[in-house]
Amino acid sequence: MVAEKIINQIKPGAQVKVHERVKEKNGERVSVFQGTVLARKHGSEAGATFTVRSILSGVGVEKIYPLYSPLISKIEILATPKKIHRSKLYYLRDLPAKKAKKKLDVILK
């Protein structure tokens, strides 16, 4: 489980690194997905989720993670945005990476 302190820091615009456990034929391994949080839905209830977007090999990839999933071993907060006035950042899907970073104006930790 992820600490409550980290869960409160997962906000739209934050740069996160999610470590998730993946079951394979030979056992289990940890897969890391790094990207920007686009949205967080359903507050802090049991079914709460957050969406992370990254660009891999020139293709935009989004993953939706349940907030309280036992398969998530760790979440690292890499950077937080200065000021975001929207709760869903879906408009970042249409922007090039350079313009998206400039719009967010993130603070690195």
> What are the structural domain ranges in the chain?
4-108
Tens digit of each residue's pLDDT (9 = 90 or more) over 82-98: 888 889 999 888 888 78
Q: Per CATH, the architecture of 4-108 is what?
A: Roll (2.30)
What percent of the chain clears pLDDT 90, i.e. is strictly above it? 65
109, pLDDT greater than 70: no
106 falls in which pLDDT band (50, 70, 90)? low
What torsion, rounded to 10 degrees, do the Cα atoms 47, 51, 44, 80 define? 170
Contacts (Cβ under 8 Å, ≥6 apart) of 89: 12, 13, 36, 37, 38, 39, 104
pLDDT for 65 equals 96
Which tens digits make up the pLDDT trace of 39-61?
999 988 999 999 999 999 989 99
